[in-house]
Amino acid sequence: FQMAEISATGTITNVQTKFAYISSGKGSVFCPLAAAVDSLEICTDMTEKYSIGDIVHFKATRQSNKNGCDLRAVNMTLSSKSSVYKGLESGDVERNDIIAEITVVHETLAYGNNEYVGSIFIPGSAFSDGNAKRLNWYIMPGDLLSLKITRQAEKNGCKWRAVTAEIYHYPEPSRGTGVVISLSDTMAIVQSELGIVRCGILAWEGGTAGSGESLHDVISFGSNVVFETMELSSDTSVATRWSLLNSGLNQNDSLSFRSSHVDTKEMHAQTVTPIERMVINCMSKSVKQQLYDQIPLIEKMLNEVDLL
């Protein structure tokens, strides 16, 4: 029997030679030295790598309140954004570059969440006057806001209050080309000049061939592809649209998402986009990926709708 692992982000509150404690939204976490260093790394003192206030990502399993903690870390790594957010727990009273997801909206106030600072109270006065009167007409749960926040005495679980707020606009798509280095029926892993890119079947725009139910029908290991991705992390990004790289296309040309696999019947069927496909295309990349993870066969269903 294997205990379920919990993945979350937290802040180191105490670090010693052989262990550390993490405060997180999941509760207090005990982290032994073995969970905090790579198996090939020689490190006998956690204080050489970590300090109080560091933001870390961890995986943990539950334990019986040992060491005052209900969770024990099995893996811990320093967040790439630790230096940006570290001051939030060590004395900074104001920040103006926080991106938060709306969780609750009322007429004159809202609440948001940022994975590093937790819950944020957002009064209507943080918005421009025209939008402060009816927030529930202006924003909804799931929207992203760009906030300037300030500390407050904890109230309703919020240690932070928004001073200014505006809708966060996604950056322009990053575009690139790469080579397929791993392939399954529903996902291709692409090595590119922008790093590793995950290209899912829902974002494929290169037409179909064969049964059209698998990426194996349209591409293969080693295929050259072109993609757009909305936001890059330090490790992996997710393509919002991608296709085979057309022969002769170079990096200075505008990217093309046409494919030789598209036949006349399919092109005719795509003249009018079905409402189901339009709904999918309007989703954010995170929602679309979650939908794909939970319902792997949804692309097959959408393809059947496209051909009606």
114 and 211 co-located in one domain: no
Q: Which of 167, 182, 217 is the last residue of a domain?
A: 167
Is the per-residue pLDDT at 100 higher than 70?
Answer: yes
Among the three residues 113, 133, 167, which one is the final residue of a domain in this structure? 167
Strand partners, 123: 109
Domain count, the chain: 3
Residues 233 and 131 in one domain: no
Residue 287 has pLDDT above 80, yes or no: no
Query: Do 160 and 216 lie in a common domain?
Result: no
Q: For 232-251, b where at least 16 C-beta lie within 10 A, e where not — what string?
A: eeeeebbbbbbbbbbeeeee
Q: Look at residue 1 and tell me if it is in a domain.
A: no
Q: Tell me 204's DSSP state.
A: B
- What pLDDT is attached to residue 40? 66
pLDDT score for 112: 92
Confidence of residue 208 (pLDDT cuts 50, 70, 90): low
pLDDT for 238 equals: 83
- The pLDDT > 70 percentage for the chain reads 70
User: CA nearest 302: which of 282, 279, 271?
Assistant: 279
Tokens 């560091």 found at: 54
> Kindly report the CA angle at 21 between 18 and 24, in degrees rounded to 5?
150
Which of 50, 85, 120 is where one domain is finished? 85
Q: Are residues 248 and 294 in the same domain?
A: yes
For residues 196 and 265, membership in a common domain is answered with yes
pLDDT given at position 263: 41
Q: Report which of residues 171 and 178 the model is more confident about.
A: 178
Distance CA 84, CA 101 (A): 18
68-99 core/surface letters (b: 16 or more CB in 10 A; e: else): ebbbbbbebebbeebeebbebbeeeeebeebe
Q: What is the pLDDT of residues 58-77, one digit of tens each?
A: 999 988 877 788 899 999 98
In terms of residue numbers, what domain contains 235? Answer: 174-306
pTM of the shown model: 0.38
* Residue 173: CA count within 13 A, CB half-sphere: 15
Output the average pLDDT for the chain: 76
In a domain, 296, yes or no: yes
Q: What is the pLDDT of residue 248?
A: 39
Q: How far apart are CA 143 and CA 100, in angstroms?
A: 8
